[in-house]
Structure 1
Amino acid sequence: MTSTKEQAAISRLMGFLQEWDNASKAARSHMLDNFIKANQGKTGPELELEFSQGASLFLARLTSWLRLTYMYGIYLDQQLKSIGIFLSAASRYLTEFLEIGGVLTLLEILGLNQLKEEDKRESIKLLQLIANAGRKYKELICESYGVRSIAEFLANSKSEETQEQVQILLDSLGHGNPRYQNQVYKGLIALLPCTSPKAQQLSLQTLRTVQAIVGSAHPSIVDAVLGVLSSMHLEVQYEAIQLIKDLMAYDVRPALLKGLVELLKPPGKETAKVKGKALEDPVTLHLPEPLSVYIQQAAAAKTIGILAQDSTKLAEEMIQLRVVHGLMCAMGNQDHTTCQRQASISLEYFVQTFPIVEEHVRKATGETLFQLFMRDAKTLYMKMDAVQVDILASNKVNIPGSLASPEGMLPMEEEGSTE
């Protein structure tokens, strides 16, 4: 037999559920407000005490109402926050939510254009709770094509706060999820050409973490990360350079180094048009098409300088890829002074570190221009005349052989030899 106190509690629960069943949408909204205020942060036992061991009965009603109305956005924010209280409280409620297709509902919310950004952010937070519950829950999200839905939402979101929440979710899916970690990894790579600078920045940050977990680099990352160097946003370029530095430890290193050196060479008109259109940064879409190529060229010169200073071995590899020729070509690019400046700074390191490079550069530029360069590489672009610019842009420097050390000497090419 139940005690009088227990009977009273059950009566209160039944009265509450009956009130919910008979309430209008506006009345239910008011009930949810009260529920959220009174129960935020409660544990499973505390919720059961609040609902006289019948909390699951209210959760079932909540999830049913959500599934019937989420496409219209009716009180969606309150519904999701209320469900979040249950999912945060106990795994039992999480299981009940998943059994009614909760993951698919949350993922579908992300793709509905008519819904508010705030509602979608709450959906992301619930997916975070699910993913953090363990490996099998991460697998469930991934099996439901969750990585694609989440990545597309990150690319299209207009709120930085929301995008940061999505990054947390993708990072969680990339950890402790060996069956689907490659799917997360490839999804992040696919995000790099998107139109949102913030999404690019966050994707690059997360890629660095997931790259270490995956342990091998997919070939598609080469073009993707080199393409991001064309962004006008310095925070995006910074993250791209950090990722490139990490990738030097993987099999894609030769392809990345070759790609960086190739970016130094001035493109033909047709190439410039293609690359200008390929840049999807909203700001740059309003700029002349070739400018994106020059931004990428400047970023490549900067990256080369950073890599060379980090590792003599990398510097030697790039010399064999004709980086000196490329940097001098970039220094002769009168259409973009930032490109000239970055190329000069990077070339200065190679000249100061490798005597053979100094010889070739001195020989190619002539003593007057070489002394201008050595006096102040950073401002050389402001002091050159048209003839000197043309000397740099049309240089034929090619340093064959191999370097034994920074002090070592490469065999000099015969005078007058070309590419």
Structure 2
Amino acid sequence: MSSTKEQAAISRVTMFLQEWDQGNKAVRSHMLSTFLRQSAGCTGPELELVFAQADSLFLARLTAWMRLTYMIGTCLGLQLKAIGVFLSASGNHRYLHEFLEVGGVLTLLEILGQKQTAEEDKSEALSLLQIVANAGRRYKELICESYGVRAIAECLANSKAEDTQEKARCLLESLAQGNPKYQSQVYKGLIALLPCTSPKAQQLSLQTLRIVQEIVKVAHPSIVEPLLKVLRSLHLEVQYEAIELIKDLMHYEVRLALLKGLVSLLKPTKEGIKNIEILNVPEFANMTESLPVFVQQAAAAKAIRMLAQGSPTLSEELLPLGLVHHLLYAMGYQDHADSQRQASLALEYFVRTYPVVEEHVHKAMGDTLFELFLANSEGLYMKMDDVQADILLSNKVNICGVVEEPE
């Protein structure tokens, strides 16, 4: 560039920066819109050329304005997008370092935690954090050291926009990969998300846990209780992901705890039954089908059937846990048709696979009910009378010895 052109470029940039420094909100907003329109997709060298080597001066001004105003949301979306032009530019390492040196990561994380921050602005902040994470292990560590896992997880749990939740999920997954110092922190953060009230957040957390579980290699015992509680969800997509994660965890040391937990869920606790009895009035008659305790009971029976069908070894581990007794009980508890149906389907597998189970179940049911069971296990609950249901509820089946080899 000739000296004349250099002087003209410097003069133009100087005027631009002066206009910025003296401009109000409306002026700066217009300047940012123009910048985004003209500079989106520029490389680092191209930005240097546009700003006559004064690109860092504009980035510093932009970052400072964002840090001063993000709590009141002044042009926050434009600010984040403009910063994104610098951070996403190829050859962006200098811009990235300059942004981090002034506390850029902390500011982005604080933006995620502001209740008044718009969803689209949270989404943009997550995109910038993803750019930082993609720069390498040291940058992932910086985000985690800044309590980023908690901030991102809370954003995932509290957000109302699926796009924002998906970006938060991707970022958490990214922070667990190639980041051995903090991968356990991400894993525990995802477990902490399981009890949240957002079904979408639960689904995404379960999906990500399946990926991160393979990274951390060890299953933390704290995953058992919240994972089993997720089976209470009325959302089938959440239950599906929970059961898939349970299947994955059969290869880890929490296997027995999960199996015991699933079996125990087939028989509601006294406290759970008491709560159901309180609702046993006409105006609540239609509510029992969707009560969490019954939804969880049905999901547990379904999970047990899927686990058993996938592994004979698991079947032999389940039977000594009182499985048949609990399945018969679930089949007899007439307040939830799906629990009865799922328990029947699970029990049918064991009856047809293990002669010892067939013998015990036949004896517990009696000839008539057992024949109905074999003829149509899935629809048995519709054909049982109250006496037969009571027989199932009061069964004393206990298979604790060595299971015979299946035929």
Q: TM-score range by the shorter chain?
A: over 0.9
1:114 and 2:113 are equivalent in the alignment? no
Partner amino acid, structure 2, of 1:241: I
Task: Find the partner of 2:236 among 212, 229, 234.
Answer: 234
**1:180-204 residue CA offsets vs partner (Å, 9 max, x unmatched):** 0000000000000000000000000
CA drift of 1:91 comes to: 1.3
1:92 and 2:102 are equivalent in the alignment? no
- For normalisation by structure 1, the TM-score amounts to 0.92
Corresponding position of 2:263? 261
Mapped to 1, the partners of 2:275 and 2:19 lie a distance apart of 65
1:295 and 2:295 are equivalent in the alignment? yes
Corresponding position of 2:245? 243
CA drift of 1:267 comes to: 2.0
Mapped to 2, the partners of 1:196 and 1:273 lie a distance apart of 24
**Amino-acid identity (%):** 67
Tell whether the 8 Å contact from 2:355 to 2:404 is kept in structure 1 after alignment. no
CA drift of 1:290 comes to: 8.4
1:312 and 2:307 are equivalent in the alignment? no
Tell whether the 8 Å contact from 1:272 to 1:293 is kept in structure 2 after alignment. no
CA drift of 1:269 comes to: 3.2
Aligned residues: 397
1:331 and 2:351 are equivalent in the alignment? no
1:190 and 2:192 are equivalent in the alignment? yes
Task: Find the partner of 1:137 among 136, 139, 159.
Answer: 139
Tell whether the 8 Å contact from 2:373 to 2:380 is kept in structure 1 after alignment. yes
CA drift of 1:224 comes to: 1.1
CA drift of 1:244 comes to: 0.2
Tell whether the 8 Å contact from 1:273 to 1:290 is kept in structure 2 after alignment. no
Mapped to 2, the partners of 1:141 and 1:359 lie a distance apart of 60
Note the residue ranges of structure 1 that are not aligned, 5 or more in a row.
277-285, 408-419
Tell whether the 8 Å contact from 1:155 to 1:194 is kept in structure 2 after alignment. yes
Mapped to 1, the partners of 2:379 and 2:68 lie a distance apart of 66
Greater Cα offset, 84-93 or 197-206? 84-93
Greater Cα offset, 286-295 or 354-363? 286-295
- For normalisation by structure 2, the TM-score amounts to 0.95
CA drift of 1:288 comes to: 6.2
Tell whether the 8 Å contact from 2:288 to 2:336 is kept in structure 1 after alignment. no
Task: Find the partner of 2:149 among 140, 147, 162.
Answer: 147
Corresponding position of 2:373? 373
Tell whether the 8 Å contact from 1:272 to 1:289 is kept in structure 2 after alignment. no
Corresponding position of 1:412? none
Structure-2 change in CA distance of 1:287 and 1:32 (3 Å) = farther
Mapped to 2, the partners of 1:45 and 1:341 lie a distance apart of 66
Corresponding position of 1:123? 125
CA drift of 1:266 comes to: 2.7
Structure-2 change in CA distance of 1:272 and 1:220 (3 Å) = farther
Structure-2 change in CA distance of 1:273 and 1:51 (3 Å) = farther
Tell whether the 8 Å contact from 2:334 to 2:340 is kept in structure 1 after alignment. yes
Stretches (4+) displaced over 6 A: none
Mapped to 2, the partners of 1:240 and 1:290 lie a distance apart of 18
1:178 and 2:180 are equivalent in the alignment? yes
CA root-mean-square deviation: 1.8
Tell whether the 8 Å contact from 1:32 to 1:82 is kept in structure 2 after alignment. yes
Note the residue ranges of structure 2 that are not aligned, 5 or more in a row.
279-285
Greater Cα offset, 335-344 or 9-18? 9-18
CA drift of 1:222 comes to: 0.5
Corresponding position of 1:52? 52
The secondary structure found in structure 1 opposite 2:341 is helix
Corresponding position of 2:14? 14
